[in-house]
Each structure stands twice: as C-alpha cells, then as structure tokens.
C-alpha cells in the first residue's frame, strides 16, 4: 500500500497542468490552445461591438412621443382598477404607496428606462396580486403615467416588447417634438 503522502504526490504530477512533463508539451505552445484563445477573444470583442452598436443607436426618450393618447386613456381605466386604491386617483400616493406624479416621479425615474418602469409595475403590482397585470395592461398604465406626467404623446403606441422598452430613456431633458 502507498502512504497518503505518496498518493498525493504522485497524483499531483499527473494532474493536467500548464506543462506536461511526460510528453514535454506546454499548453502555451499548443496550436489548438492558441486558436481557441484567439477565437474566444474575437467572439468576446464581436459581442461587445454588437452590444455597443445597439446601445449607441439613436436611443429614444420619453420626450419623443412614445405612446398615444388612446393608449393612455386605456391605461387610465386600468390604473383606476388596479392602482388608484393605493396610489390615489391623482397619483399622489398614500402611506407606503409612492407618488407617481410630478417631481417625485421624475426624481425616481429620471435616467432609467421605460422597460425598468414596465418591469417593476408588471412584476410587483398590485401588491396584493403581483404579476397579474397583462403585458398589454401594464404598457397602457405606463402610457397613462407618462401622459399624466406631461410627457408628449406620439402617433405610435408603446409596445410591450422588452428590448424596445429598455431602449426608451425616461427624461424631461431635451426638446419636445413639434406639435402636430
């Protein structure tokens, strides 16, 4: 029988390492390793470049008219049914329910995406039944919140597509689109 120390010592020399003493091979000199490393680096660089181009694309803001008045009207109805009991009809909030209008809304959401607002609303509201709002109802409520907070309406409805919503920045900065 071998002693535990001898087993450990013999196994350590057999473990894969950066240098294989028995065959005289070094991973550094292995072509397959080099090609795999280059392929991984190129893949990472390509993924980073694609993500940068997507992020650098003309990002919309809430000043670009990202919802319609009709959508906001539907959202007002949904808000009345699912949200007003806590956040009040005038969106002023009460108790633990934060205000959803005015400076409180702007200070909370400025610089975040409409997708962030959508996700929070969809996944946590109403507090007694989180996650029960449909994506369409949620996006309509978000449109109502934007309208109530005097973000301009546009000619296209806000869609519940997560990628689209993540690329719309909530901001009061910038110029409002010309009135039609």
pTM here is 0.66
Residues 6+ apart with CB under 8 A from 60: 66, 167, 168, 169
pLDDT grade for 176, boundaries at 50, 70 and 90: very low
CATH for the 60-169 domain, from 3.30.1360.40, 3.40.50.1820, 2.120.10.30, 1.10.760.10: 1.10.760.10
pLDDT at 169: 97
Does pLDDT of 95 surpass 80?
A: yes
Give the range among 26-35, 95-104, 154-163 with minimum mean pLDDT.
Answer: 26-35
Domain with CATH 1.10.760.10 in the chain: 60-169
């Amino acid at each position: 029988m071998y002693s535990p120390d001898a087993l450990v010592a013999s196994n350590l020399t057999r473990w894969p390492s950066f240098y294989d003493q028995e065959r005289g091979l070094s991973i550094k000199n292995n072509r397959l390793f080099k090609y795999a490393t280059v392929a991984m680096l190129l893949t990472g660089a390509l993924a980073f470049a694609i993500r940068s181009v997507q992020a650098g694309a003309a990002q919309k803001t809430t000043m670009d008219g990202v919802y319609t008045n009709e959508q906001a009207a539907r959202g007002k109805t949904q808000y009345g049914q699912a949200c007003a009991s806590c956040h009040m009809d005038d969106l002023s909030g009460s108790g633990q329910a934060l205000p959803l209008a005015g400076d409180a809304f702007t200070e909370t959401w400025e610089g975040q995406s409409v997708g962030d607002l959508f996700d929070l609303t969809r996944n946590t509201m109403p507090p007694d039944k989180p996650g029960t709002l449909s994506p369409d109802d949620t996006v309509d409520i978000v449109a109502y919140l934007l309208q109530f907070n005097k973000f301009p309406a546009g000619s296209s409805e806000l869609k519940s597509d997560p990628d689209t919503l993540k690329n719309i920045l909530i901001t009061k900065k910038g110029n409002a689109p010309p009135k039609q």
